[in-house]
Every structure is written in structure tokens, then in C-alpha cells.
Amino acid sequence: MSDVAVIGFAASDRSVTTSGVETLVPVFEQALDRAGLGRREIDFWCSGSSDYLAGRAFSFVNAVDAIGAVPPIAESHVEMDAAWALYEAYLKILAGEAETALVYGFGKATAGDLHRVLALQLDPYTVAPLWPDAVSVAALQARIGIDAGLFTERDMAEVAARDRGGNAEELLGRPYLSNPLRAHDVARVTDGAAAIVLAGGERASRHRERPAWITGIAHRIDAQGLGERDLTEVPSAAAAARDAGLDHDVDVVALHTPFTHQELLMRRALDIADTARFIGTHGDAMFSAGLSRIGAAAEEIMSGRADRAAAHATSGPALQQNLVCVLGSNPPGSNPPGSNPPGGNQLGGIA
């Protein structure tokens, strides 16, 4: 069993075609270049994308064109944010079946009506046939939080003002989009792609002076029914954080929260220290946004700006599925004083 590290990351905030191929070629080149690896040195490729977003069947197979699959490659795919593809690749390396992996996510959300497309991830018998759009579903969650006194519309506006500029007072004067959400509460729908290169043990140290070691990673899921769970609690995120060894010692945090109120809910659920620095985002690129959060956290380590970082990814409606990844400048087994959390390097998802 080998420790696993992020050794390269690249992202694009645009998509050329819905197939993703033209977008992925330069993203792969950049990520591999930063990792100091050639394309044919990758043992395992794993992606996250959705045919519903691409509007064509087997779109992920089409995207394999960007890899150049001669000689044949080992490849897999998840119909989720590529943060979950990273989890699969992480396991593949831990299991000794690969030393290196390239994980990628891509999506061209603007090719269709994203908020209608996302209705199709809801219960197909009792909810999806009503076509509740994703913004409305998030608004129902936000109101429960406001009614419960957990936060106010002003708190939400302040999250938006921090990431996008402007001031909360002025934002609160704007009309509702889906009451209680205003336009600033909803992440901009963006196209995009991202890629992360992983390597195990000695390979990671050989290719990158300061790899971002994954000290813990776990993911959990909450009940699907929107009326089945307390939408203000995110037990899946709290459980994933516990299993990933997230504690108050992280320097920097990258959350994947497509709505302002979801950042407020996640701060509570993850019990993040007030001292932690937050990395903001400028949009929600479907199927790569969560992976990009891991990439952004890893960059903090690789660049030396941080010694411990945490990233979060979400998938599904109203924060239903959550993944937490904790990264550090030291391998989880090295155990230098004060930097290795109890519970680190647990396989939370399957233990």
C-alpha cells in the first residue's frame, strides 16, 4: 500500500464542444507538464462527466480521443463530479494496480438548460416528473435554514460580496430570483474542464519536489428524498470530514458550494476553524468544479503557501453527496510532530 499525492493540476474555464475533446487536450498537456510526466506514463485514467449534460450517448468514450488511446489505456468513468473519479483513482493506486493516474472532469453546461437537466438527478418516480429546477430546490433548502435562524439573507449576500465584489447592502436591494435566493446567491453556470495527476509513494517524490499528499479522503451520501432529511444538516459531509481526518489544523479550505447558503451550511457541518483561509470560486463548472477544489487546495501545498489544506466536493441536489479530501506537505505515514491528524489515511468510504 502506497501513499498517494497530487503532483499536477490544470483547469480551463471554457469548453469548446460538448464532447469535451478539444477542451481537454490542452488541459491534459498542462497538468502532465506540471507533474513532469508524459502521457504514456499514466497507468490509469478516470473521468467524471454526464451524457445528460452533453446531450449525447457515451460522451465519456468520445472524450477518450483527447487521451490518445494507442497503445490501449486503462480507463474508467463516474457519472458524478470528477472528485469521485479521483477517489476511484486514489483507490487504484492504494491497491497497487497503478503508480500514476490522471483524473479529469468536463462539461459544457451552457449547451443545454442546466437547471432543467439537473431535475433528472431527482427521484425518477415522484420528483423528476415535476421538473423542479435546481435553483428552486436550493431555494427550498435556503428557506429552511433562514426559518431555523441559522443564517440570514444578509449573511448569504456577504458570502457573495466576498467572492464577487460589491457590498451586501447593495446586493440585498436586488430582486429575488427564486425567493429567498437572489442572482448573487447562485453560482454562475460555467463551462469547463479540470485534470489532476496523482502518483503513489516514491513516484510522487520523484516527479514533484513538494507533492500534495492525500492524508485522508472519504465520501458519504444522504437520503435522496428532499423531504426525508433535515436539509439544514449535512450529516454526509460531517461523516466524510471525520473519516478524512479534517480538524482545526488546516491552513486553507476550498469548498464546493454552488449556492451561498450552502457555504454557510458547510461551514457548520465541517466545523471549520475561524483561522482557516478560504479559496473562493468564480462559478460552478459542472463535473469539474469539485475536482478543481481539490486541485486548488493541492496547489496551496505544492506552492508552499500551506502545509495542510482541505477540499470539499458536492454532487446531487441540496448537498446530498459530499466528499472531503485533506492534503498535507508530508506523506501520511511520515508522522512529523503536529502534522499528522488522528484518523488520517483512513479509507473512510469503505472502512
Interface with another protein by CB under 8 A: which residues? Answer: 16-18, 21-22, 25, 28, 39, 52, 55, 64-70, 108, 111-113, 115-117, 120, 123-133, 136-137, 139-141, 143-144, 147, 176, 178-181, 223, 225-228, 231
CB-based contact 230:148 (threshold 8 Å): no
Residue 164 phi, psi dihedral angles, 5° rounding: -120, 0
Question: Whose Cβ is closer to another protein: residue 91's or residue 111's?
Answer: 111
Give the three cell numbers for residue 162: 466576498
**H or E element, residue 236:** helix 235-244
Residue 213 phi, psi dihedral angles, 5° rounding: -75, 135
For the CB of residue 313, give the shortest distance to another protein in the complex, in Å. 24
In angstroms, the CA 107 to CA 97 distance is 28
Question: Whose Cβ is closer to another protein: residue 16's or residue 91's?
Answer: 16
Question: Whose Cβ is closer to another protein: residue 94's or residue 111's?
Answer: 111
In angstroms, the CA 132 to CA 118 distance is 9
Between the alpha carbon of residue 306 and those of residues 83, 253, 331, the distances in Å are 21, 10, 15
In angstroms, the CA 117 to CA 109 distance is 9
Question: Whose Cβ is closer to another protein: residue 131's or residue 206's?
Answer: 131
For the CB of residue 78, give the shortest distance to another protein in the complex, in Å. 21
Which ranges in 277-340 belong to alpha helices (H)? Answer: 289-302
In angstroms, the CA 261 to CA 326 distance is 23
For the CB of residue 157, give the shortest distance to another protein in the complex, in Å. 17
In angstroms, the CA 222 to CA 241 distance is 14
For the CB of residue 60, give the shortest distance to another protein in the complex, in Å. 14
Cβ neighbours for 44, distance < 8 A, ≥ 6 positions apart = 74, 75, 76, 89, 92, 93, 97, 98, 100, 101, 102
For the CB of residue 317, give the shortest distance to another protein in the complex, in Å. 10
Look-up: residue for cell 477544489? Answer: 293
In angstroms, the CA 243 to CA 233 distance is 17
In angstroms, the CA 94 to CA 148 distance is 43
In angstroms, the CA 292 to CA 103 distance is 11
For the CB of residue 345, give the shortest distance to another protein in the complex, in Å. 30
Look-up: residue for cell 435546481? Answer: 134
Question: Whose Cβ is closer to another protein: residue 94's or residue 226's?
Answer: 226
Question: Whose Cβ is closer to another protein: residue 118's or residue 296's?
Answer: 118
Question: Whose Cβ is closer to another protein: residue 82's or residue 296's?
Answer: 82
In the three-class reduction of DSSP (H, G, I as helix; E, B as strand; rest coil), residue 326 is classed as strand
For the CB of residue 16, give the shortest distance to another protein in the complex, in Å. 5
Give the three cell numbers for residue 108: 459544457
Question: Whose Cβ is closer to another protein: residue 55's or residue 336's?
Answer: 55
Question: Whose Cβ is closer to another protein: residue 126's or residue 335's?
Answer: 126
For the CB of residue 55, give the shortest distance to another protein in the complex, in Å. 4
Question: Whose Cβ is closer to another protein: residue 102's or residue 272's?
Answer: 102
**H or E element, residue 151:** none
For the CB of residue 88, give the shortest distance to another protein in the complex, in Å. 21
For the CB of residue 146, give the shortest distance to another protein in the complex, in Å. 9
